[in-house]
C-alpha cells in the first residue's frame, strides 16, 4: 500500500463538467501539495496546504479549486476546464516544510479534457 | 522563479555501463537539493536530500555529489541495470520553504 493514494487514476471530462480529484495520505504528515505535470514541462507546484491552511497558490486559475478538510485529505475540484489543462496531476505530502524533508508523491491522476 | 537545468535530457546506455548526469541551479537562497527517480506509471521516489557543500550521498549503485557554491549536483549510476531506467529529477529548495522547483529531468534508458 502506497503512503499517498490518488483517485481516480484516469479521468476524462468535458469542458462544461465538474469533477474532483481526491488524495489521501497515510503517513501522518501535515503538509499536502498538488503538482501538475504537462507534456514537455517540469513538475509545477499548484497549491500547498499545511495543517489544513493554504500556504501557497502559484497563480493557478480559479477553475481549479483545492479543498483540504483535514491533514490527511486533499481534493482538487475541477470546473469549466480547457483542453490545455489535460495533464498528470500529482498529490504529495511532507512532514512540515520541505527544506530538508522528503516529499512523498502519489501515482497521479491522468486528466483529459475534451 | 528558479531556473533549474538538467542535462542531458535523455540518455541511452548499455547494461553494465556507468553513467552520470548534471543538475544546475541558482546558488543564492539555497538550502537543500532533492533528487527523485520516476519510473513510468509509478510515483516519483525520493533518492537523496542534500544540504551541505561537498556533500556526497550513496544508495546502492547510485551516488550524488553537491556543490552549493557553483550551483550544481552530479548523479552517478555505477553498472547500470535495466531496472535503473527512469527519469531522474532534481529540485532545489530554500530554507523554510514548501516549494520544490523541479528540472525537466534526465530520462535514462538502460539497454539489456
Q: At CB < 8 A and 24+ separation, what contacts does B65-71 make?
A: B66/B33, B68/B27, B68/B30, B69/B27, B70/B27, B71/B24, B71/B25, B71/B26, B71/B27, B71/B30
CB contact under 8 A, A100 and B51: yes
Q: Predicted confidence band at B110 (pLDDT cuts at 50, 70, 90)? A: very high
> Residues of A with CB below 8 A from B23's CB?
none
Q: Give the best-scoring range by mean pLDDT among A24-38, A55-69, A91-105, B87-101.
A: A24-38
Determine the Cα–Cα distance for residues A30 and B58; give it in Å rounded to an integer.
28
- For the stretch A19-71, pLDDT in tens is 999 999 999 999 999 999 998 899 999 999 988 888 888 889 999 999 999 99
Query: Which of B100, B103, B105 should one mutate to test binding to chain A, selecting the residue with the greatest count of A CBs within 10 A?
Result: B100
Asked if residue A97 has pLDDT above 90, the reply is no
pLDDT at residue A1, as a whole number: 52
pLDDT at residue A45, as a whole number: 93
- For the stretch B23-68, pLDDT in tens is 999 988 888 999 999 999 999 999 999 999 999 999 999 999 999 9
> Residues of A with CB below 8 A from B41's CB?
107
Mean pLDDT for A94-112 is 89
- For the stretch A74-88, pLDDT in tens is 999 999 999 999 999
More reliable by pLDDT, A53 or A91: A91
CB contact under 8 A, A45 and B34: no
User: Among residues B21, B16, B6, B35, which one has the least CA distance to residue B78?
Assistant: B16
On whether the CB atoms of residues A89 and A36 are closer than 8 A, the answer is: yes
Amino acid at each position: 500500500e502506497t503512503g499517498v493514494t490518488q483517485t481516480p487514476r484516469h479521468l476524462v471530462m468535458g469542458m462544461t463538467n465538474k469533477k474532483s480529484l481526491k488524495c489521501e495520505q497515510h503517513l501522518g504528515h501535515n503538509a499536502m501539495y498538488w503538482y501538475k505535470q504537462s507534456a514537455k514541462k517540469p513538475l509545477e507546484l499548484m497549491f500547498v496546504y499545511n495543517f489544513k491552511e493554504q500556504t501557497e497558490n502559484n497563480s493557478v486559475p480559479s477553475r481549479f479549486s483545492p479543498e483540504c478538510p483535514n491533514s490527511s485529505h486533499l481534493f482538487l475540484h475541477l470546473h469549466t476546464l480547457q483542453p490545455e489543462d489535460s495533464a498528470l496531476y500529482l498529490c504529495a505530502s511532507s512532514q512540515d516544510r520541505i527544506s530538508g524533508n522528503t516529499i512523498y508523491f502519489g501515482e497521479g491522476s491522468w486528466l483529459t479534457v475534451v | 522563479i528558479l531556473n533549474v537545468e538538467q542535462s542531458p535530457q535523455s540518455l541511452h546506455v548499455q547494461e553494465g555501463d556507468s553513467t552520470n548526469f548534471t543538475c544546475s541551479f541558482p546558488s543564492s537562497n539555497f538550502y537543500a537539493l532533492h533528487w527523485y527517480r520516476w519510473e513510468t506509471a509509478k510515483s516519483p521516489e525520493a533518492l537523496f536530500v542534500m544540504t551541505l557543500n561537498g556533500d556526497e550521498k550513496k544508495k546502492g549503485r547510485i551516488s550524488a555529489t553537491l556543490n552549493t557554491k557553483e550551483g550544481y549536483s552530479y548523479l552517478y549510476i555505477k553498472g547500470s541495470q535495466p531496472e535503473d531506467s527512469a527519469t531522474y529529477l532534481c529540485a532545489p529548495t530554500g530554507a523554510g520553504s514548501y516549494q520544490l522547483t523541479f528540472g525537466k529531468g534526465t530520462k535514462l534508458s538502460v539497454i539489456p
